[in-house]
């Protein structure tokens, strides 16, 4: 089964068509748990891009050596190795941001999106295609996290990246952790609505 | 088919209950450590400790404050001495008062010199009953810090398998069992291999490796030994690895320095809490199929908003204390 898309097509698919947060609804734990600020989203997004690219690269390189029965443990251990590396790097060089993200950097190991990309793509396709697919999915995750973080930080603390932009008393509700569920739910509904309106317009035109 | 699945669920639930009862029974010997000379020891409040003895004690020894030393079990360097020692008229009950504020939730060690006989040291461990402590860990993981609704973990699997009550209970039970087995193995390897050899940086690899090996082993064995059970539960096994709770529990265990039974209770509470959350959610989502939902909210968006409402409700448990 060969991949039909070009490199830019792979990138665009990860960011728009199959956005891991809003379309595939995978890796929702960080999207709800720590998306209170844009900065958290960027940091975790970068960590996920790193892990996704290097795990995809590793699996794409050794895909012919893996016995099909033990492929899932192999994927998990590959991901765990790269997560350990990014975990130690972040703890050493960005201790403040690392403290804010808490346990979530370590939990990248259990993010469904990474295992899924290894299973669906990297274990079948060529190395270069796998890297672009991983990059697309990683950036898609980053975009999703930043979008949710933007809404929650703007409404919850009236700031963007730590700069005060609103100048009125913000709604504390959006900083509360349980608001993550509501924000993600309403944003998903919003994107579904846009898609439905867009599709209707296209149908009218044809 | 449906009946066999229900039977299997009942058997699994009974197994979990039996394991829990055996676990509690094995704790029994630990709670009666100070039998013999000291019959009673307890914190009256944050400033005083009361002790009871099986025989009368010497008043001059009991009132010499330099005979007493109290410290928290984890910090033996910070030693405190009582302000006053009051012996009851029958010389069998002793009340110690302290100027410092003690924390009755933490285990304390009290050492008394010359009390039993000249030159002897009586060591008394003051701690909350092990039962209460373990029960509070269980309830905390189950309700107060429910992993789904207050820690926001395991959401992918949570939303994926909460459409039907059958799948919800199946997933919850399989997850609880794998969680218990892998948490106990993680505890043993962490305690006897990783910590003694200073290999803590390997924790993530080892913990997730143990989980995937457990899942793979159960998968292979079940496929051969009991195909009926495999058909009912096999599909959930792969999903267990994609659940962040399975790796969050060992990490939490390490950061809180939990022992064997504490880890057992944490894993049981985490699995039970996941089962509870799945069951609640599936009960509501089955009803939702009859409701008229705006088109763009159908499916996942409304499920997220529902989960948010459950999370708000679970905030109420944060007031629960022992």
> Which tens digit of pLDDT belongs to each residue from B23-62?
666 655 554 444 567 777 777 777 888 888 877 777 777 7
Task: Grade residue B3 by pLDDT with cuts at 50, 70 and 90.
Answer: low
Question: Are the C-beta atoms of B301 and B133 separated by less than 8 Å?
Answer: no
**DSSP tally for chain A: helices H, then strands E:** 9, 2
Average pLDDT for B278-290: 90
Note whether A73 contacts B: Cβ–Cβ < 8 A: yes
- What tokens were used for B270? 């985490």
CB contact under 8 A, A196 and B215: no
Question: In chain A, which ranges are E strands?
Answer: 159-160, 163-164
- Percentage above 90 pLDDT, chain B: 13
Average pLDDT for A180-189: 88
Q: Is B85 helix (H, G, I), strand (E, B) or coil?
A: strand
Cα of B247 to nearest chain A Cα, Å = 7
Nearest-by-Cβ selection for B209 from A77, A178, A193: A77
- Between A168 and B290, name the one with better pLDDT: B290
DSSP code for B51: E
Best CA proximity match to A32, nearest among B310, B270, B205: B310
Sheet of B48-53, strand order = B38-45, B48-53, B93-97, B84-87
B294 contacts in A (CB within 8 Å)? Answer: 189
Rounded to two decimals, the ipTM of the complex is 0.84
Nearest-by-Cβ selection for A115 from B205, B242, B246: B242
Best CA proximity match to B185, nearest among B157, B213, B219: B213
Q: Which residues make beta-bridge pairs with B53?
A: B38
- CA pair distance B4, B299, nearest whole angstrom: 30
Note whether B246 contacts A: Cβ–Cβ < 8 A: yes
Average pLDDT for B204-227: 85
The confidence score (pLDDT) of residue A3 equals 64
Which residues lie closer than 8 Å to B188 by C-beta, 6 or more apart? none
Task: Grade residue B290 by pLDDT with cuts at 50, 70 and 90.
Answer: confident
Note whether B27 contacts A: Cβ–Cβ < 8 A: no
Task: Grade residue B2 by pLDDT with cuts at 50, 70 and 90.
Answer: low
Where residue B257 falls (left for φ over 0; alpha for ψ -120 to 50; beta otherwise) is: left
CB contact under 8 A, A178 and B308: yes
Q: Write out residues 74-113 of B within 8 Å (CB-CB) of A.
A: none
B316 contacts in A (CB within 8 Å)? Answer: none
Number of C-beta neighbours around residue A168 at 10 A: 6
CB contact under 8 A, B311 and A25: no
A63-67, A193-197, B65-69: the lowest-pLDDT one: B65-69
Model confidence at B189: pLDDT above 60: yes
Model confidence at B71: pLDDT above 80: yes
Q: Is B125 helix (H, G, I), strand (E, B) or coil?
A: strand
pLDDT digits (tens, 9 = 90+) for A103-130: 888 888 888 788 888 888 888 888 888 8
Q: Is A76 helix (H, G, I), strand (E, B) or coil?
A: helix
Model confidence at B266: pLDDT above 90: yes
Where residue B97 falls (left for φ over 0; alpha for ψ -120 to 50; beta otherwise) is: beta
CA B179 to chain CA mean position, Å: 13
The confidence score (pLDDT) of residue A2 equals 60
């Amino acid at each position: 089964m060969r991949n039909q898309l070009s490199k830019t097509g792979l990138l665009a698919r990860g960011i728009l068509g199959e956005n891991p947060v809003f379309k595939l609804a995978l890796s929702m734990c960080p999207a709800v748990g720590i998306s209170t600020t844009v900065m958290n989203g960027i940091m975790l997004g970068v960590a996920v891009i790193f892990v996704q690219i290097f795990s995809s690269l590793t699996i794409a390189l050794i895909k012919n050596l893996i016995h099909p029965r033990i492929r899932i443990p192999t994927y998990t251990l590959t991901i765990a190795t790269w997560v350990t590396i990014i975990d130690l790097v972040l703890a050493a060089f960005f201790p403040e941001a690392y403290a804010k993200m808490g346990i979530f950097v370590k939990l990248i190991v259990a993010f469904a999106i990474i295992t899924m990309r290894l299973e669906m793509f990297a274990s079948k396709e060529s190395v270069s295609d796998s890297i672009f697919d991983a990059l697309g999915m990683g950036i898609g995750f980053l975009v999703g996290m930043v979008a949710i973080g933007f809404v929650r930080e703007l409404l919850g603390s009236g700031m963007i990246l730590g700069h005060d932009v609103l100048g009125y008393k913000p709604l504390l509700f959006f900083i509360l952790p349980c608001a993550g569920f509501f924000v993600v739910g309403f944003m998903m509904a919003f994107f579904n609505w846009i898609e439905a309106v867009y599709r209707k317009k296209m149908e009218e035109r044809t | 088919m449906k009946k066999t699945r229900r039977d299997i669920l009942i058997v699994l639930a009974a197994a979990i209950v039996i394991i829990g009862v055996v676990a509690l029974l094995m704790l029994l010997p630990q709670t009666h450590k100070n039998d013999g000379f000291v019959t009673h020891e307890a914190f009256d409040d944050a400033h005083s400790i009361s002790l009871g003895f099986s025989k009368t004690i010497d008043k001059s020894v009991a009132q010499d404050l330099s005979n007493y030393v109290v410290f928290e079990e984890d910090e033996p360097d910070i030693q405190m001495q009582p302000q006053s020692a009051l012996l009851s008229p029958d010389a069998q009950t002793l009340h110690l008062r302290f100027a410092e504020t003690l924390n009755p939730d933490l285990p304390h060690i009290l050492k008394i010199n010359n009390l039993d006989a000249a030159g002897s040291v009586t060591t008394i461990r003051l701690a909350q009953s092990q039962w209460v402590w373990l029960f509070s860990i269980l309830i905390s993981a189950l309700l107060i810090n429910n992993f789904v609704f207050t820690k926001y973990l395991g959401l992918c699997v949570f939303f994926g398998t909460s459409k039907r009550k059958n799948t919800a209970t199946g997933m919850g039970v399989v997850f609880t069992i794998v969680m218990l087995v892998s948490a106990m193995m993680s505890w043993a390897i962490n305690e006897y291999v990783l910590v003694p050899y200073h290999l803590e940086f390997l924790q993530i690899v080892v913990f997730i490796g143990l989980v995937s090996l457990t899942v793979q082993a159960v998968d292979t064995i079940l496929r051969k030994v009991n195909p009926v059970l495999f058909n009912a539960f096999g599909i959930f096994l792969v999903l267990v690895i994609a659940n962040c709770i399975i790796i969050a529990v060992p990490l939490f265990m390490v950061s809180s320095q939990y022992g064997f039974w504490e880890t057992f209770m944490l894993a049981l509470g985490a699995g039970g809490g996941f089962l509870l959350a799945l069951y609640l959610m599936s009960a509501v989502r089955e009803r939702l199929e009859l409701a008229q939902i705006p088109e763009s909210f159908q499916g996942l968006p409304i499920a997220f908003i529902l989960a948010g409402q459950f999370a708000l409700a679970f905030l109420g448990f944060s007031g629960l204390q022992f």
